[in-house]
Amino acid sequence: MKPDLRTVQRSMQRYSKEGARNADDELVVEEPLEMRVGGVAIAVTMRTPGHDRELTAGFLHSEGVVTTTSDLAGIGHCWDPETPEIRNVIDVTLASDEAVDLEALRRNVYASSSCGLCGSVTLDTIHRRCAVLAPGGRVTPEVLTALPDRLRAAQTVFARTGGLHAAALFTFEGELEVVREDIGRHNAVDKVIGYHLLRGRLPLSDRLLLVSGRASFEIVQKAVMAGLPIVAAVSAASSLAVDLAELQRQTLIGFLRERSFNVYTDFDRVAE
């Protein structure tokens, strides 16, 4: 059986009312991934290994470097048997010879496991880059309140470690299409968007995004770039996330729980 590179065993001491005992714990792996375009390094992000091609494709889409799968001529790890750690480097070849200002992209990008800041740091830039989302698509409260349990049931590594964020795409009828886990919630979103980009399925105008944590500006920005009309989070939404969702006519939902949720923008997509 292939080893699971996403987790690792570590010894520890567990304390409880019965006292202390030695035990093993399963921890989430955190490793850097260097992303290159044409051999030029543009970003390093801390991530959980797995689905690296999707992560990179989704990241480049969020940064406006690629828009469809036809923009990609190749994407893969840089394999070198002499340096096995090279699995943490992935290189992208673009289909077009048109120059991309990689230095400007590199200056504008900062990514880590706790925070993701895209190069597009203002609402105005996003608004000029992206079309306002078209009206249409509705989801019922009954479907929405059932989604967190479906997401949790699909979080296989979280169930063993308790240490991963998740992002998932659902149909408006509540059918789970794809879920990805990562130590960085922005990486999880990039992975589900990259999953569809590599299959030529963008924009995602007939899907909704659910994230296991809060809805930040960066998550809403990535969803807007992918054409997602509805974003839901099990935790809070930030003020800037609400501002961007309102500007782009996206429906943003927060505190999605078993019996309740908040709708901050474009209420019409939630059916009475």
Known catalytic residues? 115
d(CA 245, CA 138): 16
Q: How far is CA 210 from CA 169, 181, 190, in A?
A: 6, 12, 13
Burial class for 119, CB neighbours closer than 10 Å (0-12, 13-18, 19+): middle
Q: What are phi and psi of 44, to 5 degrees?
A: -130, 125
What are the distances in angstroms from CA 91 to CA 44, 88, 94, 124? Answer: 12, 10, 10, 31
Q: What are phi and psi of 45, to 5 degrees?
A: -125, 140
Encoded tokens for 131:
């079309």
Q: φ and ψ at 263, to 5 degrees? A: -110, 120
